[in-house]
């Protein structure tokens, strides 16, 4: 009883407990090698896509602004990481932070565009900007090495090289949980409430003294920062950055993660990232269906449409309302659903 009460009353507890359990699992795996190395690589993908999805969710779920060009920021982060670590040899932490901060500046510029445009106009303009930046990656050989791509080595902290994928999984998991705690605090702060108010009604938010100018820029800057950091993790994880990765498909995948997992929810973002990484892999192993080429595209598209049609709040939130919260209510005799997210 006391345990459940703790769970329900202290909002941090859920996240900290989850973090600790995850890090412990990854740590045990490091010692015993529980997962196959293929699974470890997939888990790393889940981790960096989770960071992407959380960043994109701040923009789409919390602030209600759409962007179909965020793949460009992820690419920018990845290229920056490769460029900085190859040419200047900065350490892991300065590199990853710079790879978030510089896209953030460009995020502010995109935010300035978003001040003038709305809904589908914004979607089309950001799609155009994304494609433009993708072309820049192809042609700006000095920075990106064009179609040859850039290679880089695994990161090093205080002389410890993360050469093993399992070590890197542990490192990126820790970064993901720093990101999650930061986001949790952010969305429950004044800024987070201002973003939600802006999403629900721009006019009403303005009437309450919320500056749309300021918060639109904040939403775009923050999401670009997160996505840039995820790009940096991508670069370190894959150790190879190629210009054809950062097209509109990746932007659509980001949207799919957030929609499938659940808009305006951290758990939903992680669920969505896991869905997009694991489900196509699992289906590929099935007989008959798995042999269809491009089954991952078909499945992702279908899942997006089905979620919008049947559970617009997303898989995670649906599961939460349907099973987790009634469980609390029964245990604690609460009248209304507790918890948060």
Partner 1 sequence: MHWQIFLQNVFGGIETGSLYALAALGVVLIYRVSDVTNFAQGEMAMFSTFVTYTIWVYSANAGFPYPYIAAFIGALIFSAIFGFLIERIFIRPTSDSSLLGKMIVTLGLILMVNGSAGAIFGTDSHYMQRAITGHIRFGNMIIRPHSFFVIGLAIVIMLVLFYMIKFTMFGVAIRATAQNDKVAKLMGVPTKKVTAFTWIMATMMGAIAGLMIAPATNVYTGMMADIHLKSFIAAVLGGFTSFVGPVIGGLMIGILDNLVGYYISTNWQTVIVYGFLIIILIFKPYGLFGEIPKKKV
Contacts of 254 (CB under 8 A, 6+ apart): 52, 53, 56, 70, 71, 227
Contact segment (CB under 8 A) with partner 1 among 2-10, 73-81, 124-132, 177-185 equals 124-132
| Strand stretches in 181-254, DSSP E | 240-241
Q: How far is the CB of 178 from partner 1 (least distance, A)?
A: 30
Give the alpha-carbon dihedral of 115, 69, 50, 249, to 10 degrees. Answer: 150
Among 3, 31, 87, 116, binds partner 1 (CB under 8 A): 116
Decide if 183 contacts 18 (C-beta within 8 A). Answer: no
**Cβ-based nearer residue to partner 1, 21 or 115:** 115
Among 169, 224, 233, 256, binds partner 1 (CB under 8 A): 256
Distance of CA 19 to the CA centre of its chain: 16
Site string for partner 1, 301-340 (x = CB under 8 A): xxxxx--xx--x----------------------------
Among 201, 322, 326, 334, binds partner 1 (CB under 8 A): 201
Q: How far is the CB of 107 from partner 1 (least distance, A)?
A: 16
CA-to-CA distance for 333 and 316, rounded, in angstroms? Answer: 23
Residue 217: helix, strand or coil by DSSP?
Answer: helix
Q: Which of residues 210-239 bind partner 1 (CB under 8 A)?
A: none
For residue 295, state whether it binds partner 1 (rule: CB under 8 A): yes
Q: In angstroms, what is the C-alpha Rg of the chain?
A: 20
For residue 288, state whether it binds partner 1 (rule: CB under 8 A): no
CA-to-CA distance for 178 and 61, rounded, in angstroms? Answer: 20
**Cβ-based nearer residue to partner 1, 75 or 100:** 75
**Cβ-based nearer residue to partner 1, 190 or 309:** 309
# binding residues, partner 1 (CB under 8 A): 47
**Cβ-based nearer residue to partner 1, 24 or 124:** 124
Q: Are strands 156-157 and 150-151 parallel, antiparallel or unpaired?
A: unpaired
Read off the tokens for 165: 């994928």
Q: How far is the CB of 255 from partner 1 (least distance, A)?
A: 6
Read off the tokens for 142: 């000095």
**Cβ-based nearer residue to partner 1, 98 or 258:** 258
Distances (CA, A) of 87 to 84, 94, 144, 149, 151: 5, 14, 12, 15, 12
Residues in contact with partner 1 by the rule CB under 8 A: 64, 66, 68, 113, 116-121, 123-125, 127-129, 131-132, 135-136, 139, 201, 203-204, 248-249, 252, 255-256, 259, 292-305, 308-309, 312
């Amino acid at each position: 009883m006391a345990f459940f009460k703790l769970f329900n009353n202290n909002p941090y507890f859920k996240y900290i407990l989850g973090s600790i359990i995850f890090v412990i699992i990854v740590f045990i795996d490091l010692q015993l090698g529980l997962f196959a190395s293929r699974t470890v690589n997939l888990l790393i993908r889940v981790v960096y896509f989770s960071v992407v999805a959380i960043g994109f969710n701040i923009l789409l779920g919390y602030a209600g602004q759409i962007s179909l060009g965020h793949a460009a920021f992820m690419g920018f982060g990845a290229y920056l990481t490769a460029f900085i670590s190859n040419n200047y040899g900065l350490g892991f932490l300065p590199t990853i932070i710079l790879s978030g901060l510089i896209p953030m500046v460009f995020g502010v510029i995109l935010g300035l565009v978003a001040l003038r445009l709305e809904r589908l106009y914004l979607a089309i303009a950001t799609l155009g900007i994304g494609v433009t930046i993708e072309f820049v990656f192809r042609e700006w050989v000095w920075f990106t090495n064009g179609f040859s791509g850039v290679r880089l080595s695994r990161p090093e902290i205080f002389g410890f090289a993360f050469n093993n994928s399992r070590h890197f999984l542990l490192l990126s998991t820790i970064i993901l949980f720093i990101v999650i705690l930061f986001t949790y605090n952010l969305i429950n702060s004044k800024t987070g409430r201002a973003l939600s108010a802006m999403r629900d009604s721009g006019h009403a938010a303005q009437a309450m003294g919320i500056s749309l100018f300021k918060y639109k820029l904040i939403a775009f800057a923050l999401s670009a920062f997160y996505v840039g950091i995820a790009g940096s993790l991508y670069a370190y994880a894959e150790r190879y950055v190629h210009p054809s990765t950062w097209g509109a498909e990746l932007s659509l995948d980001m949207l799919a993660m957030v929609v499938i997992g659940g808009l305006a929810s951290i758990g939903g973002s992680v669920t969505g990232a896991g869905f997009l990484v694991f489900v196509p892999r699992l289906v590929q192993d099935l007989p008959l269906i798995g042999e269809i080429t491009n089954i991952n595209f078909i499945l992702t598209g279908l899942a997006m449409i089905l979620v919008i049609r049947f559970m617009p709040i997303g898989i995670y939130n649906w599961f939460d309302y349907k099973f987790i919260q009634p469980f609390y209510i029964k245990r604690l005799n609460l009248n209304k659903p507790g918890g948060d997210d």
